Amino acid sequence: MERFDRTLTVAAALLLTALGFFPLADWIAGGPAMPGWSDLAGGWWSGTLTVLGASVVVAVLLRKRAVLPGERVPIRLTESFAGAPGLWAAGLGLAALAVYLWIAREVFSGRPLLIDEIVQVYQGRIFASGALSLPVPDYPEFFSTSHVLNLSGKVFSQFPAGGPAMLALGSLVGAEWVIAPVFGAVSVVLFSALARRIEPRPGVALAASVVFAFAPFVAFMSGSHMNHVTVLTWLLLGMLGLARAMERPSPRVLDGMMVGLGLGFAATIRPLDAAAFALPAGAWLLVRTIRTGSWPALLSAGLGVATPVLAMLWINQMTTGAALTFGYTALWGASHDLGFHLSPYGDPHTPVRGLELLNTYFVRMQSYLFETPVPSLVPAIGALALTRRLTPFDRYLFASSGLLLLCYWAYWHDGFYLGPRFLFPMAPVLVLWSARMWTAIRSRFPSPIVARTLGFSVLAAAGIALFVSIPLRALQYRNGMLTLKWDADAAVRREGVRHALVFVRESWVAQLVARMWAAGLERADAERQYRHSDACGMETALQEIEQRGLRGPAALSVLAPLMQDSARLVRSPYTSDPTNRFLPGSAYTSTCKARLQEDQQGFTLLLPLILARTEDVIYARDLHARDSLLLGEFPDRDLFLLRPATTGVGAEPQFYPLRRDSLLAAWRKGE
């Protein structure tokens, strides 16, 4: 078994080294480039040499000192943790909760920012209202947004029900922003309980608990609205139940129930993540049951899994119409699912492309996990390289982590937000192995100078992260996505906008996409079309489609030929919208020139306004002459146009009053 364990640890160390330290994506022809690789690698070298060099000098200068001030403090802390682990776990959880809540409010303004967050909060509010979906409006093209379905008369989000259900708890009290911090703090408590069960050295368990609680990747994610936070909480509950079961010759019913409920609820949030951790756990329980002949733990685990999963499948049945069909598959088609095929965006996902994505994830993890000048994976790689024996739970984590990587190798989307978010379930594993580095090096190199060099290196790296890197990252997040942080409800109150229909001026391309939806194109078809077509060509084609009343495949047949020139497209030099494609040598029509001029005047986003709480104000996408449909539906409302006064970064949207008669006259002239 030792040889097998050694093979696993060496293979894991080599895999992390290859994916985390080499620009494979740059070396593979035709793939995405690793942005800023030379600067990144240069920063790793300079940061590591600075920390290590300074630490060696200090260790040598202080080599004659038997004991340094504060050197015995870790021993006292370890003894305290060993004597009162529950108290330590609770204290760390409360401290982490305070940090996460601060991040949520002061860094992210208490608002969902990524489309995934916004749409799940939207669905959470639907759940909190006592419904599974909303009715489709008469003219959905004015209100629809990506990741939201209009299916069989129902409006609902594409995500599995579990994530929005967690956010619905916050919706009930009007504070969805507290959910991820609370779940993040619970994760800290669960991880601390898990660490002291699977790690026999109290000092290592304590270090892992502290590092996990305040690792920047974990902390910033726990201040968001992302479902990666809630799924990790349930995964940790399942892992804790499994660790308890592994301690006993015959697992108990409660242990099995913890495993089942944890992994079952995780499956309702992120089924892929749950499957990666559930399959090895289920296999272990099954083998143990066969060996012992004791079935209660396995049966209770099955019941625990089935309860939340059956609820999720029922919700699928009531929304998509099929228990095994999730919203994202109903919205985007089979191209959204795992596998090597064309993505919903029309780009091929191949095994090589999957390798490139894994490479970028681990390279990003080097910075985002700990934010230290030394690459974040160095401690885990060092511990793995020096470890010869594994515990049964270590092998379980190896199996689960390997399955997770295989799943995301076969998944087409680049999961980047606040770090490599698809690898978030691996944060506990990487933190645990990072905490083991100290004892692994001390056992192999017992020299006091080595110990002190390592200690000073850890302190120096942590200090630079705490006082330099983390504040800079927080400032970056605070100053980013300003449009999505704009408080529409406060602006409505400030401007005195009441009983109004507000047309939101989005970019020209966003309008084209909505018009394709209105023409009956599937979301994947519309996505591929706008990514691979000249904007003015789409405008002209859509005018023809709307005049002839074409829908679905007939409309697509008019648009599809535009993609034949996709290889020649460039980003349009005439607008600040990065999604606008231009075919060099083509001429703009008068309508296209007018749309470009509007883009230059400023545009904003409808997406965050689906969460506006001012019920007396209706926000709708501005579609020009098509807006007359809504004027007829809401004849007594005041009219406003919402757009920024300028196209500058962070320019706040403003309300511009509109006259109904002037709009109608302009539309009659074709303006």
**Is 222 in contact with 261 (CB distance < 8 Å)?**
no
Residue 324's CB: how many other CB atoms inside 10 A? 9
**Which structure tokens are listed for 20?**
């985390």
Residue given tokens 């379980």 in the structure block: 396
Give residue 274's pLDDT.
97
Of residues 476, 474, 455, 454, the one with CA closest to residue 465: 474
Give residue 80's pLDDT.
87
Q: Which residues contact 257 (CB under 8 A, 6 or more apart)?
A: 241, 300, 301, 303, 304
What does 379-426 look like in DSSP terms, one character per residue? Answer: HHHHHHHH-----HHHHHHHHHHHHHHHHHHT--S--BSSSBGGGGGG
The span from the CA of 393 to the CA of 521, in Å, is 49
What does 326-372 look like in DSSP terms, one character per residue? Answer: -HHHHHH-GGGSSSSSB-TTS-B--HHHHHHHHHHHHHHHHHHTT--
Give residue 72's pLDDT.
65
Give residue 29's pLDDT.
77
Give residue 36's pLDDT.
81
Give residue 666's pLDDT.
66
Rounded to the nearest angstrom, the gap between the alpha carbon of residue 303 and the centroid of all alpha carbons in its chain is 29
The span from the CA of 608 to the CA of 645, in Å, is 19
SS3 (DSSP) at 156: strand
The span from the CA of 253 to the CA of 289, in Å, is 12
Give residue 622's pLDDT.
95
Of residues 526, 524, 502, 525, the one with CA closest to residue 512: 526
Give residue 79's pLDDT.
85
The span from the CA of 357 to the CA of 359, in Å, is 5
Rounded to the nearest angstrom, the gap between the alpha carbon of residue 398 and the centroid of all alpha carbons in its chain is 23
Give residue 354's pLDDT.
94
Query: Model confidence over 500-522: pLDDT tens digits?
Result: 999 999 999 999 999 999 999 99
The span from the CA of 410 to the CA of 337, in Å, is 9
The span from the CA of 85 to the CA of 68, in Å, is 27
Backbone φ, ψ for residue 148 (5° rounding): -120, 130
The span from the CA of 106 to the CA of 435, in Å, is 30
Of residues 195, 264, 198, the one with CA closest to residue 235: 264
**Rg of the chain's alpha carbons, rounded to an integer?**
27
Q: Which residues contact 78 (CB under 8 A, 6 or more apart)?
A: 202, 203, 206
Q: Which residues contact 458 (CB under 8 A, 6 or more apart)?
A: 438
The span from the CA of 406 to the CA of 400, in Å, is 10
Sites in the chain below the pLDDT cut of 70: 31-33, 66-73, 647-650, 665-671
User: Which run of H or E residues covers position 315?
Assistant: helix 296-319
